[in-house]
Copies of this chain bind each other. A is one copy, B any other.
């Protein structure tokens, strides 16, 4: 039995749920209610010592960190969300690293400010805007030449961006995306996947 400890509203949980949806893998979702501080409670910290979500239990194997969980689950259930060739895998890993280091931190400033009602300093939002513009330009150049971030196929790299973009599109950051036609075409395509509608619906 596979159990995911997380929350359907959490960006990191959504990466894992999207990976499972694409694999059509059954699982049980054990909801951690972060509005009640359950992620910092003893039971959850025993499985995720940093007090974050998600985590998983797969029979006797436990782990956490959403990007690592997505790689593990995809490998176990199909492998189809990872390119078959070394250069394709290199591209996938490069784009996952870009997401982690150059994208989600910036996007989340908008999500905090406009969705989670955690006010950000104007200078923070300004820096996030600048950072997001740089990254979106790099993504737009890539997506002008390639259907998905890692190449011709939808991979875990695309999944890693989706939860952040899903929320960011409901903030003024939407205007930054709208100026990059290849990013927008890619987003419109991947967000139409029935799996994503299920995860983010």
Contact = CB atoms under 8 A, between A and B. Distances in A.
- The contact size tier of chain A is 20 to 34
A65 interface: yes
Interface string A51-78: 0000000000101111111011001100
B67 A90 contact: no
Interface in A86-134: 86-87, 89-91, 93-94, 96-98, 100-102, 134
Tell me whether chain A's interface is mostly helix, strand or loop, or mixed: helix
Contacts of A50: 98, 102, 134-135, 138
A63 B138 contact: no
A152 to B, nearest CB: 16
Contact of A101 (B65, B69, B141): B65
A71 B93 contact: yes
A184 B96 CA distance: 31
A63, A87, A90, A96 interface centre (most CB from chain B within 10 Å): A90
A137 B49 CA distance: 9
Given A49-B138, A50-B138, A72 B93 contact: yes
A22 B138 CA distance: 32
A20 B97 CA distance: 20
Contact of A76 (B68, B86, B101, B134): B86
A97 B104 CA distance: 14
B97 A72 contact: no
Contacts of A66: 97
24 contacts: A49-B134, A49-B137, A49-B138, A49-B141, A50-B98, A50-B134, A50-B138, A63-B90, A63-B91, A63-B94, A65-B94, A65-B97, A65-B98, A67-B93, A67-B97, A68-B94, A68-B97, A69-B90, A71-B89, A72-B87, A72-B90, A72-B93, A75-B86, A75-B89
